[in-house]
């Protein structure tokens, strides 16, 4: 007997085949079964979504049979399929594209026989998971209150705790209670960056046992990622710790989801299905009845607003406050354990000053005491631009509308957008001038200049100061990041220079001084989220100082700025996130910006900027004409604001011109209905002769980068 199955397959993003395709099988298969199917001339991985209606008799012979079945692998659960369907629908992507992207890449290359062998080996070698093998430390009053409320209330929860307040211990206690209450329960812990995974993984593994905890992120080898996914899917892994990709992992007995540093923009995927792992975590918790804990010292304004009780906010989340660092008694000033923030007015310093003399003296004092300093400069390379003062030539990238960054270490000009690199020219390519200069400063230059400025500084043992740099360039090789962090933790580094990589989540016990060298650029950005990101970065950076209670009184955060009285720096000095958030939300209310309105970006890439803009403007015109005549869609269309197409801030990357069009609406439902109705219009427009120059288009719902 023939059975017809609807199978989700990885159809091309612009093919228009968003629905599952029909295949035939000789026996019924449960929804969620993983299979191999023919697709064109290829054989691909697929997921059985449901039974399909029988095709018309004249079409039956055209329906192709399954190519293989992964027997021995339990079907993907109903909760998982609902999550994938919602993700595809909300973020305007094909169902199969999202479903297959959520599966480990190596699974796509294996046959059913090969997978069966691996499952057999894993079953024979898998140890029993041991839980709660190490006794945990006593909780502070704030921690105990948070753990009790997570245990007793439904949530979702926003754990608003200052840096050093012990949020990680709250996560582990909440996980321990969930696992103890249900012998088969699973916990998902999300972190924003791969480089934060090893240290948090080690803490969870120490507490719950190596066999109970697995990591899941894109930095793993294909074999490691498949092994971790299989462990989670089978339920053997009790705790899965990973980056945003882990939110779509198969966890059939999920009971708790933790999103650490929930404010971090890394949770938003910027390619393909542009989903927000933080938002999907909240939705997934509702689907499977799991509790959700979002944690941050600087919550996103969306989460902060959602946790504000009426009338200030909708009160969808339960806010749990942890205002004191570990070791600060209840009733004491909450700022007692936080670093003192000092602002340096750079307009009063000599022109060209890189490190203000008072800050340099403070760094020298730390070196002499055996303490550590972090210097934050969120720009890698030696200098962002190489230029000629005679003819005005600058190191522009020939493929991007951006400058190539000067890297002195290997004497290259390198584009950080497309990767194009060339050796530094001996003379100006424009006029032949031999005296080519630099504009701006990067971490390489800061590292070298510090070596000169601290040449006389001595450690307690009389040795010279040791300076290290951590950024995307210095940690490119395998194991380099781990080795660099190990040196810092071991006290072998006195001054650490780096980008935002050093500001997130690290527990450096010897750091007593953190300094932001040049944070002013984000104050006047055209992106309305820039102040929020800068404040979070500086607060998180300050949180690296004084984490050891014995040194907290001497900890400081220095900010070198030309605008010391800017409200952002005033709020930072008082560690006043609540005041900063209230001011930002008031501005967004007046401007009609998120979280008080909902946004989507339509993007188009083409060889010509005008072609990209024409494509988007034609879509807007056609949508108004076609959807406006539809009685069911016209009310939703009336709630949408369309802005003209414009170039992206970096409008050309790798020779491709990029344009975008902003849509806004006070109604999320109306925006979703219009975006869904625009999908066939986009396919039709791209296929037309008038828009053949379009390379690709994309829909970005709830965009973070604008």
Residue 613 CA, chain-centre distance (Å), reads 29
678 annotated ligand binder: no
Cα 513 from Cα 375, distance rounded (Å): 8
400 annotated ligand binder: yes
Q: Give every strand in the sheet of 495-498, ordered side by side.
A: 340-345, 556-561, 511-516, 372-376, 495-498, 467-470
Query: Greatest CA span in the chain, whole angstroms?
Result: 89
Work out the end-to-end distance of the chain between its first and last CA atoms, rounded to an integer number of angstroms.
54
Cα 143 from Cα 515, distance rounded (Å): 29
Report residue 344 as tokens: 């340096």
- How deeply is 398 buried, as exposed, middle or buried, from its count of CB atoms within 10 A (0-12, 13-18, 19+)? exposed
Cα 470 from Cα 467, distance rounded (Å): 10
Q: Beta strands 412-414 and 405-407: pairing type? A: antiparallel
Report residue 529 as tokens: 């989220």
Phi, psi of 301 (to 5 degrees): -65, -25
288 annotated ligand binder: no
* Polymer length of the chain: 706
Cα 706 from Cα 118, distance rounded (Å): 45
In this structure, the number of other CB atoms found within 10 A of the CB of residue 204 comes to: 24
∠ CA 528-259-672 to the nearest 5 degrees?
Answer: 55
Q: To the nearest 10°, report the CA torsion of 327, 332, 338, 343.
A: -160
- How deeply is 115 buried, as exposed, middle or buried, from its count of CB atoms within 10 A (0-12, 13-18, 19+)? buried
Residue 590 CA, chain-centre distance (Å), reads 28
∠ CA 651-654-655 to the nearest 5 degrees?
Answer: 70
Any bridge partners for residue 699, and if so which?
602
Please tell me whether residue 374 adopts helix, strand or coil conformation: strand
Q: Which of 263, 267, 269 is nearest to 242 (CA)?
A: 267
SS (H, E, C) 632-658: CCHHHHCCCEECCCEEEEEEEECCEEE
- Contact between residue 359 and residue 369 where contact means Cβ atoms under 8 Å apart: no
Phi, psi of 469 (to 5 degrees): -130, 135
Cα 594 from Cα 528, distance rounded (Å): 10
Report residue 317 as tokens: 């989340």
- Contact between residue 161 and residue 149 where contact means Cβ atoms under 8 Å apart: no
Q: At what angle do helices 141-152 and 167-181 cross, to 10 degrees?
A: 40
Kindly tell me the sign of the dihedral angle through the C-alpha atoms of 223, 227, 233, 234.
Answer: positive
Q: Which of 10, 19, 20, 32 is nearest to 81 (CA)?
A: 32
- Contact between residue 633 and residue 617 where contact means Cβ atoms under 8 Å apart: no
Residues 6+ apart with CB under 8 A from 488: 372, 468, 496, 508
Cα 579 from Cα 564, distance rounded (Å): 17
Report residue 217 as tokens: 């992120």
Phi, psi of 627 (to 5 degrees): -70, -30
Cα 663 from Cα 309, distance rounded (Å): 29
- Contact between residue 558 and residue 362 where contact means Cβ atoms under 8 Å apart: yes
Report residue 591 as tokens: 């401007």
Annotated binding site for Zn(2+): 388, 391, 397, 400, 415, 418, 428, 431
Annotated binding site: 388, 391, 397, 400, 415, 418, 428, 431
């Amino acid at each position: 007997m023939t059975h017809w199955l609807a199978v989700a397959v990885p159809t091309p993003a612009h093919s228009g085949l968003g629905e599952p395709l029909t295949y035939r099988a000789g026996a019924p298969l449960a929804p969620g079964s993983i299979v191999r199917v023919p697709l064109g001339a290829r054989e691909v991985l697929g997921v059985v979504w449901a039974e399909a209606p029988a095709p018309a008799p004249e079409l039956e012979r055209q329906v192709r049979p399954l190519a293989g079945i992964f027997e021995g692998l339990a079907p993907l659960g109903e909760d998982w399929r609902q999550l994938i369907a919602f993700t595809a629908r909300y973020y305007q992507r094909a169902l199969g594209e999202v479903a297959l992207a959520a599966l480990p890449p190596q699974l796509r290359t294996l046959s059913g026989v090969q997978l069966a062998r691996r499952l057999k080996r894993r079953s024979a070698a898998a140890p029993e998971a041991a839980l709660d093998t190490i006794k945990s430390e006593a909780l502070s009053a704030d921690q105990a209150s948070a753990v009790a409320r997570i245990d007793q209330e439904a949530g979702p929860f926003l754990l608003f705790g200052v840096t050093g307040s012990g949020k990680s211990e709250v996560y582990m206690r909440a996980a321990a209670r969930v696992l103890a209450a249900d012998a088969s329960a699973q916990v998902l812990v999300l972190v924003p960056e791969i480089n934060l995974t090893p240290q948090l993984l080690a803490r969870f593994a120490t507490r719950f046992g190596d066999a109970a905890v697995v990591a899941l992120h894109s930095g793993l080898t294909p074999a490691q990622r498949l092994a971790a996914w299989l462990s989670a899917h089978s339920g053997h892994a009790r705790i899965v710790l990973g980056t945003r990709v882990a939110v779509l992992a198969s966890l059939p007995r999920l009971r708790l989801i933790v999103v650490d540093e929930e404010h971090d923009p890394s949770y938003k995927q910027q390619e393909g299905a542009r989903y927000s792992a933080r938002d999907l975590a909240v939705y997934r918790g509702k689907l499977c009845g799991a509790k959700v804990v979002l944690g941050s010292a600087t919550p996103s304004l969306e989460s902060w607003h959602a946790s504000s009780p009426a009338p200030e906010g909708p009160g969808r989340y339960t806010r749990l406050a942890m205002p004191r660092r570990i070791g600060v008694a209840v009733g004491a000033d909450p700022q007692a354990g936080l670093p003192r923030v000092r602002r340096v007015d750079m307009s009063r310093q000599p022109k060209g000053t890189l490190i203000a003399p008072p800050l340099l003296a403070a760094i020298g004092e730390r070196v002499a005491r055996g303490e550590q300093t972090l210097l934050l400069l969120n720009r890698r390379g030696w200098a962002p631009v190489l230029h000629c003062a005679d003819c005005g030539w600058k190191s522009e990238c020939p493929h991007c509308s951006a400058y190539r960054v000067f890297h002195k270490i290997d004497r290259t000009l390198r584009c950080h957008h497309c990767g194009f690199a060339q050796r530094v020219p001996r003379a100006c390519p424009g006029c032949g001038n031999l005296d080519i200069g630099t504009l701006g400063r990067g971490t390489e230059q800061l590292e070298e200049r510090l070596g000169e400025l601290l040449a006389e500084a001595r450690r307690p043992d009389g040795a010279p100061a040791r300076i290290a740099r951590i950024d995307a360039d210095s940690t490119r090789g395998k194991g380099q990041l781990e080795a660099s962090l190990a040196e810092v933790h071991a006290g072998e580094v006195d001054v650490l220079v780096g980008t935002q990589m050093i500001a997130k989540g690290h527990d450096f016990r010897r750091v007593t001084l953190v300094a932001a060298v040049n944070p002013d650029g984000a104050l006047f950005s055209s992106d309305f989220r820039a102040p929020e990101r800068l404040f979070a970065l500086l607060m998180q950076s300050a949180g690296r100082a004084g984490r050891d209670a014995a040194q907290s009184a001497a900890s400081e955060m220095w900010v070198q700025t030309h605008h010391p009285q800017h409200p952002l720096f005033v709020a930072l000095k008082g560690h006043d996130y609540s005041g900063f958030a209230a001011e930002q939300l008031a501005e967004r209310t007046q401007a009609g910006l998120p979280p008080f309105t909902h946004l989507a970006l339509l993007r188009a890439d083409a060889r010509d900027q005008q072609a990209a803009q024409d494509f988007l403007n034609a879509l807007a015109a056609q949508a108004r004409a076609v959807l406006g005549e539809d009685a069911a869609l016209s009310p939703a269309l009336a709630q949408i604001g369309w802005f003209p197409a414009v170039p992206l801030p970096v409008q050309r990357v790798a020779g491709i011109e990029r344009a975008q069009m902003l849509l806004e609406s006070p109604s999320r439902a109306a925006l979703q209905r219009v975006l869904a109705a625009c999908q066939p219009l986009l396919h039709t427009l791209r296929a037309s002769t008038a828009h053949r120059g379009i390379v690709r288009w994309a829909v970005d719902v709830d965009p973070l980068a604008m």
